Structure 1
Amino acid sequence: MELQKLSNGSHHDADGPLEGGLLPEEEKFLQHKDEDSKRPQFTDFEGKTSFGMSVFNLSNAIMGSGILGLSYAMSNTGIILFLILLTCIACLSCYSIHLLLRSAGVVGIRAYEQLGLRAFGETGKILAGVTITLHNIGAMSSYLFIVKYELPLVIQTFLGHTSPSENWYMNGNYLIIIVTTCIILPLALMKHLGYLGYTSGFSLSCMVFFLSAVIYKKFNIACPLERFGNSTVDTAIPESTCTSKFFTINQETAYTIPILAFAFVCHPEVLPIYTELSNPTKRRMQNIGNVSILGMFVMYFFTAVFGYLTFYEHTEAELLHTYSEVDPLDTLILCVRLAVLVAVTLTVPVVLFPIRRALLQLLFPGKPFHWVRHIGIAVCLLFAVNLLVIFVPNIRDIFGITGATTAPTLIFILPGLFYIRIVPKTQEPMNSRPKIQAACFTSLGFIFMIMSLTFIGIDWTSGEKRNLGGH
């Protein structure tokens, strides 16, 4: 049987595919040894997105608002321990992508929900779809919350006001509606994720500017810190105030592990990006994942280390807020705030694509592309997220619960379970080293989940509210 090649983005529809677009098992992973013995023949859309654009999109999916809290995380771990933890979690994320790509190659279709269908039937399909939807809605909401609270401050500073006014353009609720309608919605209506490579590249450029400003400020802010409006000088300053620490263990240290773990969440976007990749091979997509994670690793580490070496033990949970303590009228920090706003705004459409794909797989399995469904789901999702951000005053607890459950599920638990269930035992028995590694990887996900939920429970019982980093 020869699989038809797809050219114009239409779904494969030959020879009567079974439920969910899957072919019989013996036809799901065909190998043409004369051409390329290792290249899987997929039954879904054959994309045209370049390697570079795919890197931009995946890097943009990885990059989250949590970067603002990495310096605070380093202040509670020390430089060396932070680097060790960051390296381990980056390597685990690369391994997780490997498991997803390996499973997708066996199934023959690059959709998270179809991996769940193949591994655990309809229950697995629904679990994967619901998990992706909840996690990415939480991520979209967190980005729009940044817009809601930061954009009025930027406008206020641009206008030279020292206090907020009652004007409509200073109301965060109105501003997120305007930003959603004028910027996010048009980008979310793009037919293919690959088209967002340009906006993703610009978004990453904004975060590079943010990193450059952090490095520049390191050499322009003296230690001990002179806070804005405080003319008193404390002559008895401890020597440790301006001393960097390499290893630190305190009450906050354990909270940094979920922050770092969630900093590399990009797995819902991996398979959609793989679907639209030109010349798709597992090695090519794995290289995209490796390059993206390496780039974010470097950006994360330098942001954390230079932010920490600027403020040391005075580093706050939100890095930009610490700069405002020095000079709230700083023009460079104002530009950095604006760049961060642009970056998170342009990330929302990238995060929306996996939700829409999950909903299409759950509600309209096997249906061809249709603009009405494409547009309708995007409008409904953005409308629901806007309502959530506008009318719920404090949904950090909701984000905490969903982040503590969905992030470990998407990074560790589901990729490991899919690999164990999908890769045939004739190729890799259950006692083989790859299967054992996948089982340990899944167990690690449950440990992360239990640990994160425990931290949230401690926060609730103690009355303290710590930010687990979000995404």
Structure 2
Amino acid sequence: MELEKLSGDDTEGMMPNGNHVDELGPEKVTLEDGYDGPEEAETEREEFLPHKSDGKAQPQFTDFEGKTSFGMSVFNLSNAIMGSGILGLAYAMSNTGIIMFLILLTFIAILSAYSIHLLLKSAGVVGIRAYEQLGKRAFGKPGKVLAAAIICMHNIGAMSSYLFIVKYELPLVIQTFLGKTGNTGEWYINGNYLIIIVSVTIILPLALMKQLGYLGYTSGFSLTCMVFFLFSVIYKKFNIPCPLESEGNATHYLNDTAAMTCEAKTFTYNSQTVYTIPILAFAFVCHPEVLPIYTELRSATKKRMQNVANISILAMFVMYLLTALFGYLTFYGNVEAELLHTYSKVDPLDTLILCVRLAVLVAVTLTVPVVLFPIRRAIQQLLFPRKEFHWVRHILIAITLLIIVNLLVIFVPNIRDIFGIIGATSAPSLIFILPGSFYVRIVPNEREPLRSRPKIQAICFAVVGVIFMVMSTSFIISDWVTGEKNSGGGH
């Protein structure tokens, strides 16, 4: 039987952490070409899924037996969603107001869950477990190239945001340990030098590993650090007065207007409001990791994986909302684009914030190699699809990527610009445009005609993504050109 042939060696391309290094599943023998129509889809489905005549739903990935529990899958996807974007949410709320932020956050969370629904249903039709391969199945080789390029762009943005945190927070940690305040000019508290040192001494050696599956053990620690960060933000809300008063070594920077009116706004709009939706979209992107987690889920079904996604998104929704709310209610209009950096303006020697900084620094530093790995895999698939593993190529790609990311972090002046431009381009592509397009192309017309409600919804979903991407990018570029920067957004 064709299924037996496929199941014997299909896991060769799988990394211990669920990532894939080559074309996977039944696509190895059936998906060399692009999508040619519904007949091909139905034929292919019969080839790799066991045929049942009783009308029951077909299992999704019969060539791989998942062993990960439901709870662990929720944990893994939550960790995939959680990232440095959480540090920019209080800034986003300060530029929208509490009610508008809540509406936008709810809107993005619901759309993210629907987007995962489209991905899972598309994957269930053709049994593909990698985002890039769905692109190939839907649009042929150009679709694979486009999906891989977008994933690379998004992950480079994510790596940059992590190193931005290192750039701005590590010098403050070193200063605190040395008992210094202010920038005294030493090289070892220069953020640009520090990110290079961290990249060379910590990130690069980990990124050179042939297999990075063991780094999955840092997921629990990373998520715990972010929970600690949330509790610290809530605690500090009740310990930092507004307006701030001059005490000891504290440096106060509130402008006169904010100092006079420590009041929360429900709705507001300014030149920085255009960054809010991109920041929120960036914070919810987890789509390249959904299919590998789905594959490894025990007793995997679309409904079971959708429940994993819904619980994960709901958990992150609550965490994001609380972080943004209490961060905003602490500093109001003076919250900065990177929340932790704002606390240093209050008391650089605060022990609790120092512990939070250390925890977040360790978490994001150890996450960078994991984020780098899918980019390298995508580059190898695009440029060297038939080549065997080679250490020189493996090392050169990692070094090149780290050089690019370091240059971005050194020369881009603000983490908000990373969140903004990546959130306005790759995030809507991964959340809106590609899942909707894949669904329309992959699901056979015999099952769901083009004019059926699900496909019309998917088309509208993709169109909304295009509109959002064009408008957000245009607003951000216009903001750059006019130079209308909010004073609270700088570093």
Partner of 1:265: 285
Post-superposition CA distance 1:201-259 (Å, at most 9, x none): 10111111111111111111122222556899x9x989972333333344443432222
Alignment of 1:213-232 (within 5 A): 213-227=232-246
| Matched residue, 1:299 | 319
Q: Is the 8 A contact 1:147 1:172 kept in 2?
A: yes
Q: Distance in 2 between matches of 1:413 and 1:429?
A: 20
3-state DSSP class of the match of 1:427?
A: coil
- Counterpart of 1:301 in 2: which secondary structure? helix
Equivalent residues of 2:65, 2:296 under 8 A apart: yes
Offset at residue 306 of structure 1 (A): 1.0
Deviation at 1:97, TM superposition (A): 1.0
User: In the TM superposition, what are the counterparts of 1:1-40 in structure 2 within 5 Å?
Assistant: 1-4=1-4, 5-6=7-8, 9-11=11-13, 17-18=29-30, 20=32, 25=41, 26-28=43-45, 30-33=49-52, 37-40=57-60
Alignment of 1:230-249 (within 5 A): 241-249=261-269
Q: Of 403, 421, 424, which residue of structure 2 is paired with 1:384?
A: 403
Contact 2:115–2:435 at 8 Å: present in 1 too?
yes
| 1:72–1:398 distance in 2 versus 1, CA, 3 Å | closer
Give 2:349's match in structure 1, choosing from 329, 332, 353. Answer: 329
For structure 2, the 5+ residue unaligned runs are 14-23
Alignment deviations for residues 62-118 of structure 1 (CA, whole Å, 9 cap, x no partner) = 222222221222223222222121111101001111111111121222111111111
Is 1:421 the counterpart of 2:433? The answer is: no
| 2:268 match: secondary structure | coil
Q: What amino acid sits opposite 1:10 in the alignment?
A: E
Residue of structure 1 aligned with 2:383, choices 349, 353, 363:
363
> Does the 8 Å CA contact 2:98/2:265 hold for their aligned counterparts?
yes
Alignment partner, residue 93 of structure 1? 112
Structure 2: how far apart are the matches of 1:373 and 1:248? 53
1:91-240 equivalences under 5 Å are 91-164=110-183, 169-185=188-204, 187-188=206-207, 195-227=214-246
Partner residue, 2:456: 436
What per-residue deviation string (whole Å, max 9, x for no partner) do you get for residues 367-406 of structure 1?
A: 78x4748944763455434553576464876775454222
1:239-284 CA distance string (max 9 Å, x none): 9723333333444434322222222111122223334444433233
Q: Matched residues in 2 for 1:310 and 1:109: separation?
A: 46
**TM-score, normalised by the number of residues in structure 1:** 0.85
Query: Which residue of structure 2 lines up, in the alignment, with residue 60 of structure 1?
Result: 79
* 1-structure distance, mates of 2:482, 2:340: 27
Paired residue total: 464
Structure 2 distance, partners of 1:186, 1:20, is: 35
The answer to which of 320-329 and 429-438 deviates more is: 320-329
Q: Distance in 2 between matches of 1:373 and 1:101?
A: 36
Pick closer, same or farther for the CA change 1:186–1:242 going to 2, 3 Å: same
Q: Is the 8 A contact 1:417 1:442 kept in 2?
A: yes
**1:173 offset after TM fit, Å?**
4.6
1:361/1:288 CA distance change after superposition, 3 Å = farther
Paired residue for 2:481? 461
Cα–Cα, structure 1 residues 429 and 19, in superposed 2: closer, same or farther, change >3 Å?
A: closer
TM-score by length of 2: 0.82
Q: Distance in 2 between matches of 1:83 and 1:14?
A: 43
Q: How does 1:305-344 map to 2 (within 5 A)?
A: 305-344=325-364
Q: 1:310, CA displacement in angstroms? A: 1.8
Per-residue CA deviation, residues 329-371 of structure 1 (Å, 9 max, x unaligned), is 2111122222221222232233223323322432344778x47
| Root mean square deviation of aligned Cα | 3.6
Q: Quick one: which amino acid aligns to residue 336 of structure 2?
A: E
For 1:259 and 1:371, the matched residues in 2 are separated by: 37
Task: State the Cα deviation string for residues 281-326 of structure 1 (Å, max 9, x = none).
Answer: 3233322222221121111000011112222333333322332222
Amino acid of the structure 1 residue aligned with 2:3: L
Could you tell me which amino acid in structure 2 is paired with residue 148 of structure 1?
K
* Equivalent-residue separation in structure 2 for 1:15 and 1:297 (angstroms): 35
What amino acid does structure 1 have at the position aligned with 2:29? P
SS in 1 for 2:12: coil
The answer for the alignment partner of 2:21 in structure 1 is none
Change in Cα spacing, 1:89 to 1:281, as seen in structure 2 (3 Å) is same
Q: Distance in 2 between matches of 1:8 and 1:231?
A: 59
Q: 1:60 to 1:14 in 2, by over 3 A?
A: closer
Which amino acid in structure 2 is aligned with residue 248 of structure 1? Answer: T
Shift of 1:194: 5.6
Seen in structure 2, the aligned counterparts of structure 1 residues 149 and 434 have a Cα distance that, compared at 3 Å, is same
Determine helix, strand or coil for the equivalent of 1:10: helix
Q: Give the whole-Å Cα distance in 1 for the aligned partners of 2:225 and 2:26.
A: 45
Pick from 310, 323, 326 the counterpart of residue 290 of structure 1. Answer: 310
8 A contact 2:86–2:320 mirrored in 1: yes
The percentage of aligned residue pairs carrying the same residue is 67
How has the CA–CA distance of structure 1 residues 373 and 446 changed in structure 2, closer, same or farther, with 3 Å as cutoff?
farther
Unaligned runs of 5+ in 1: none
Structure-2 separation of matches of 1:398 and 1:311: 22
Residues 174-213 of structure 1, C-alpha deviations (whole Å, 9 max, x = no match): 5334433554345546666764432011011111111111
For residues 17-48 of structure 1, give each alpha carbon's deviation from its aligned partner in whole angstroms, at most 9, with x where no partner exists: 145599974233624548973311355x6554
